[in-house]
Amino acid sequence: MTPEEEKLTIRDISIAAEAQTKQGDTFYLITQRWWQEWLEYVNQNQANTVNDGSASEHCTGGSSALKRPSSIDNSDLIYEAASGDSSAGIDLHDTLIEGTDYILLPQEVWNQLYEWYRGGPILPRKVINSGLSQTELAVEVYPLRLQLHLMPKDERSTIRISKKETIRQLHKKACEMFSLIPELVCIWDYFNHQKHALMNDMDKMLDDANIQMDQDILVEVANDNSAGGVNSFHENGTADNGTAALVKPSQPNFSNAEGLSLSKGSTRNGTAELSQSQQLASSGTDKTYGSSGVSTRGSACGLTGLLNLGNTCFMNSAIQCLVHTPEFARYFREDYYQEINRQNPLGMVGELALAFGDLLRKLWAPGRTPVAPRPFKAKLARFAPQFSGYNQHDSQELLAFLLDGLHEDLNRVKHKPYIKSKDADGRPDEEVADEYWANHIARNDSIIVDVCQGQYKSTLVCPVCNKVSVTFDPLMYLSLPLQSATSRTMTVTIFTCDGSALPAACTVTVPKQGRCRDLIQALGNSCSLKQNEKLMLAEIRGHLIHRFLEDSLISLSSIKDDDHLAAYKMPKSIKNSKFLQLIHRREEREIGISQSNVGWKPYGTPLVSPICCDDVTTRGDIQLIVHRMLSPMLRAENPGFNCVSRSKTAAAAAANASRLAASSEACVDSSLANDDPRQKDVPSSKLVNLEKLPLQLVDENNACIDLTVGEDKSVKLSSSSVSILVFADWSQKLLENYDTRYIENLPEVTKYGPATKKARTEPLSLYSCLEAFLREEPLVPEDMWYCPTCKERRQASKKLDLWRLPEVLVIHLKRFSYSRSMKHKLETFVNFPIHDFDLTKYVANKNNSRRQLYELYALTNHYGGMGSGHYTAHIKLLDENRWYNFDDSHISPINEEDVKSAAAYVLFYRRVKTDHDHSVSNGTVSSAGQQSISSRK
């Protein structure tokens, strides 16, 4: 095959395979290095990037053609190359990044490449359900690696198993590995070398049992003489016969028990990790910290980095910002243990607070040796499984979890009283706000509340009865949108029903909070819609019409950025008619198994045309309607295709359409339907020299009728549905005669790309982002409010106002836009103040005379795209009055003017003390309504 043929084959297989991905499918890892070499080979005759979104930058110049790549070599992805093609025993490098080190190929794509190139080792991985809702599909690149401890023989072994496997399957594998009798074996969750729980719910998945990467599992065997089997064990590990069934485990193997192996060499950023002896030596220094903390003035304290354990930069950057918050640094270096709340059911038994405090003390200890945060990550994964493993995660999501988790672990309220908030009922805002805050403090009182929590006012107004509801809720951080504009650009592909024009994408600007009628009006103006025409808007999913957006009042906010929309030009008034939906199908074949046919699958975009129900409709009539719709895509030169010219096809179809729509304003163009003399010689119900298309009509019993035979036979149209479904089965021969690219690859409503030049030269102000956050807007339809007066759910308008601000204000810039199937990143540069961030005018509590001034002291940055991005932190050491860049284990000084960039993600501001603050004595309630930290001790 030529390079171009290889590329097109893989592209077609990839598009078809990824559209049908489901749980349990297999994907294969392939090294990015080889994939890049193959891309350059198949694109060497092109000057532009490939159109399937691959990573190829450009083709190589020169007259010499690139050589075909050698066999696939995945050896750079694994620690030791396995012999042959077997995947048994193959262990991936722990810190591989998708898009940088490897890419994932669907099984069909891998099979084809493997047939052409061979090589290996073969690295298959399964598709699993992931995410909090367990509805997102993800490839499990790193299955669980568990350390099995066999007792009482004191043997150890490592096993790889999917987190979606059950405890029964783990039990079976453990018995097979150690050659044990299953009836005599029980397994324990042996987290941190402690027996946490007996794993006896055999149908429970390991993911649900909270088993983490590199965790220990205790495999406990009863004596052969014990008749009690598994049930003969007690919680303390002794058997009923009085003999010890458990041998005390030997000293833990630190290279395995705490995460990644320490013998792997260096981390991704090139910094060698601590050796095992250094780890053991440093672990004994914890006792030297003491409860009084360590003085940092005049020393190098606070400049300790965190080792990257494998895509843990998201965690490292967030931790460094919290650790360098002065109030937290002081609190956790003093004796905070007395405030740990071990009874709080919403907390983590104090373990998260203890792990964080221990890590903070290590980072503030004298010396500059980077710290490996393995114990903290193990605790984090234990209580927040969404952050387990070695995938990249969202730094802000981790921050939100840490702040909330630390608050619950350190909540001074041991027994939360039940308090029912009263309605405002026209009372002064100040009175209602203080009441809400007092109720909040009665249930929530911790260092996190002292430092990070404020209060905002929320006002809802019913659009029908004008009922006003005012509440005052706590805030932990502000998530500010980056699009301050009130308009939105949307792309819709416009199709004609009469074959008069090719489909064309149309991009228009509409109000961000507008309705479907605004979008239809903008599209009509853009495509020069005639007075006797209208547009039917439809959402396309899976190459089918998911829904017609017939209600003109549908909110545009319900249309996601990654949706696909089509607009069909129709005659404005059609009496007694239905709509013919032409659904395209393409033949799919199994790859690598004798090219056997596996069926027809939908592809492309459906076409729609009105069909009159007044007269009898024959199979030949439907053939003509379909010919008419497809005629613009007919290629000019079609050797061997038994068909008349495009003009005759259009004329024949137009004549039929003219008859079918005679009772209304014609759907076809008047110049084609009435002025073309060629149509006079075309019978209205006969196919004249037209190649019959392979069409099948779905009748009211869901049976398919072949429309290639019996053209004069009438078709009974369903009386219960307004849509008539017709399948067009595109064979390879038919695809050679029509240029179907116009109905493929329907563009997304909003396509994200690099930031425009205008966006870079006119930076967005942080104040503008805040104003957009506080602007009054209608609720989205799925969050409609129940009006107590109307007794119905209403799309109320919502207005937020800041009421009281915290000592430390955390601001999250919403760079990641979440859509149905993916995330998009906004590279917008936000001009945020470092000094004198003045929020006075944004505080709705006008009785507060205090000036609300803040100063930036820390921020996290996110560089790159979603899959292979990297987090760092910029932090100001207040004692030195100097900024530093924290990039995992690397720390370097930076100038203040370099702090601002388009990578800024989460900003940390600290209140500036004013003369008014110093005049307020300790132990009193400030004008912001919050006690000083010193008075809460």
Question: Catalytic residues, which ones?
Answer: 313, 870
Residues 262, 254 contacting (CB under 8 angstroms): yes
> Which H or E element spans position 620?
helix 619-630
Contacts 24+ apart (CB under 8 A), 684-689: 684/655, 684/656, 684/659, 685/618, 685/620, 685/621, 685/656, 685/711, 685/712, 686/620, 686/711, 687/620, 687/623, 687/624, 687/652, 687/711, 688/644, 688/648, 688/652, 689/642, 689/643, 689/644, 689/648
Spatial CA neighbour of 320 closest among 348, 289, 356: 356
Please report, as a single letter, which amino acid is at residue 709.
V
Nearest 5°: CA angle at 499, between 496 and 501? 65
What ranges in 324-458 are assigned the alpha helix state H?
A: 326-333, 351-364, 374-383, 395-409, 429-443, 447-452
Question: What separation in angstroms does the CA of 221 have from each of 154, 174, 215?
Answer: 11, 11, 19
Which residues have a Cβ under 8 Å from the Cβ of 197 and sit 6 or more positions away? 188, 189, 209
Q: Rounded CA gap, 160 and 125, in Å?
A: 12
Residues 760, 831 contacting (CB under 8 angstroms): no
Q: Rounded CA gap, 138 and 587, in Å?
A: 27
Spatial CA neighbour of 645 closest among 691, 707, 693: 691
CB atoms near residue 382 (< 10 Å):
20
Chain centroid to CA 400: 17
Structure tokens at 448: 């996190």
**Any bridge partners for residue 597, and if so which?**
589
CB atoms near residue 546 (< 10 Å):
12
Which residues have a Cβ under 8 Å from the Cβ of 544 and sit 6 or more positions away? 583, 602, 606
Phi, psi of 835 (to 5 degrees): -115, 155
Please report, as a single letter, which amino acid is at residue 128.
I
Residues 871, 249 contacting (CB under 8 angstroms): no
Please report, as a single letter, which amino acid is at residue 151.
M
Phi, psi of 736 (to 5 degrees): -75, -20
Spatial CA neighbour of 558 closest among 539, 536, 543, 545: 539
Quick check: helix, strand or coil at residue 860? strand
DSSP state, 848? -
By CB neighbour count within 10 A (0-12 exposed, 13-18 middle, 19+ buried), where does 917 fall? middle
End-to-end CA distance of the chain: 77
